[in-house]
Amino acid sequence: MSRAYNFSAGPAALPEDVLRQAQTELLEWNGARASVMEISHRSKAFIALAEESERDLRELLDVPANYTVLFLQGGASQHFAQIPMNFARRDQSVDYVLTGDWSEKAAKEAKALTNVRIAATAAVTNYDRIPPREEWDLDPGAAYVHIAANETIRGVEFHEVPDVGNVPLIGDVSSTILSRPLDVSKYALLYAGAQKNIGPSGLVAVIVREDLLERCPKDIPRIFNYAEHAAKNSMLNTPNTWGWYLAGLVFKWMKAQGGLAAMGERNRAKANLLYGYIDNSGYYRNPVERSVRSWMNVPFTLPRAELDEAFLKESNATGLLALKGHRAVGGMRASIYNAMPIEGVQALVDFMRDFAQRNG
Ligand code: PMP
């Protein structure tokens, strides 16, 4: 058995060095005479781990001092609901920009709780673009504006943070966080499910400007209240200690790789290699407008859907895993997060070229 190149959209590949270190430390961590999974989250050693991982994440993303960093649970989906619960005032509506399935889902959850306005949507063109900022119908009195910075299913990414004036901007950055430098100060709140670039699933990073926390209402259950979580340093209840530990290892790995500037260059090169091949192949096709193509998730189709099964079977046998596109769109999707080396993308391109030649 050997590990293959894993193109899963999430839970996704983790850096091999991180997995090896976790393996080495699995039975006994840091002199604790127990696994990191088996010790109290309130122990000195775990609190030190929690603090160090927060410091590393702050350093990687250059998080300004007036932002709180939280390590929570519930998946990004729970935060689709928790965000309006905390920040939509009863007399205000909230603005959502729809650029794919995840921003759609986020808006749908918010609708159960508050008055949602769709400020812009690319649904009519099957989410192949981001509606130009000038065309957004933003309400200057909205409680916040929500975007999904990278749409994992369609592969549509904001390459610049949109200017929404004084209204707080909230971003779902689940599938783009840590892929390159990011100006945190342009957002009031960022949230990301861990299972792409951070660690295993079951952990969500939330980075929130402190003034926004003052809005959290007192009459919602404490467990959903961001201010309560912040006051308790993400230990209002038992956190996902294993996920937090692995995230800490991933942050160290990223720092050793040269931080986000280096990650960004590597990710740009990987994306250019794959899109460049697809566009020139005359065989495969990516439907997304070039200026908003995702660096992390690359969907593509073959000339005939009947070829999909053979493509998947053969690619898998070659050691290229999980290339099946999301069931909502079909075709293929290669997710090329931080842990995917350029050699893996090259191996995919080589396979695609060979497959195209054999099935022209
Ligand atoms: N937002 C984005 C951009 C995602 O890619 C995903 C999951 N792939 C989610 C939200 C939902 O995350 P979860 O399954 O952790 O709730």
pLDDT band at 90 (very low <50, low <70, confident <90, very high): confident
Q: What angle do CA 55, 61, 63 make, to 5 degrees?
A: 70
Residue nearest to atom 15 of ligand 1 (CA): 75
Distance between Cα 77 and ligand 1 center (Å): 6
Q: Rounded to whole angstroms, how far apart are CA atoms 181 and 156?
A: 18
pLDDT band at 360 (very low <50, low <70, confident <90, very high): confident
Concerning whether 196 is annotated as a catalytic residue, the answer is: yes
Mean pLDDT along residues 255-284: 98
- Rounded to the nearest 5°, which phi and psi values hold at 91? -95, 10
Q: Is the pLDDT of residue 1 over 70?
A: no
Those residues with Cβ within 8 angstroms of residue 222's Cβ, 6 or more apart along the chain or in another chain: 228, 236
- From the number of C-beta atoms within 10 Å of its C-beta (0-12, 13-18, 19+), residue 316 rates as middle
Concerning whether 29 is annotated as a catalytic residue, the answer is: no
Which domains are present in the chain?
A: 17-256 (3.40.640.10), 258-359 (3.90.1150.10)
Q: Which ligand 1 atom is nearest residue 80's CA?
A: 10
Distance between Cα 101 and ligand 1 center (Å): 10
Residue nearest to atom 12 of ligand 1 (CA): 76
Distance between Cα 354 and ligand 1 center (Å): 33
199 within ligand 1 shell (Cβ under 6 A): no
pLDDT in tens, 304-326: 999 999 999 999 999 999 999 99
Return the number of other C-beta atoms located less than 10 Å from residue 82's C-beta: 24
Distance between Cα 191 and ligand 1 center (Å): 10
Q: Which of 29, 95, 172, 324 is catalytic?
A: 172
Residue closest to 308 by CA, chosen among 283, 279, 331? 331
172 within ligand 1 shell (Cβ under 6 A): yes
Mean pLDDT along residues 85-90: 92
pLDDT in tens, 218-268: 999 999 999 999 999 999 999 999 999 999 999 999 999 999 999 999 999
* The amino acid at 140: P
Concerning whether 295 is annotated as a catalytic residue, the answer is: no
77 within ligand 1 shell (Cβ under 6 A): yes
Q: Rounded to whole angstroms, how far apart are CA atoms 182 and 315?
A: 34
Q: Which of 196, 270, 295, 324 is catalytic?
A: 196
Choose the residue to mutate in 71, 77, 154, 191 for probing ligand 1, maximizing ligand atoms within 8 Å of C-beta.
Answer: 77
Those residues with Cβ within 8 angstroms of residue 208's Cβ, 6 or more apart along the chain or in another chain: 67, 68, 70, 188, 189, 190, 226, 230
Q: What angle do CA 170, 173, 179 make, to 5 degrees?
A: 140
Q: Rounded to whole angstroms, how far apart are CA atoms 289 and 282?
A: 17
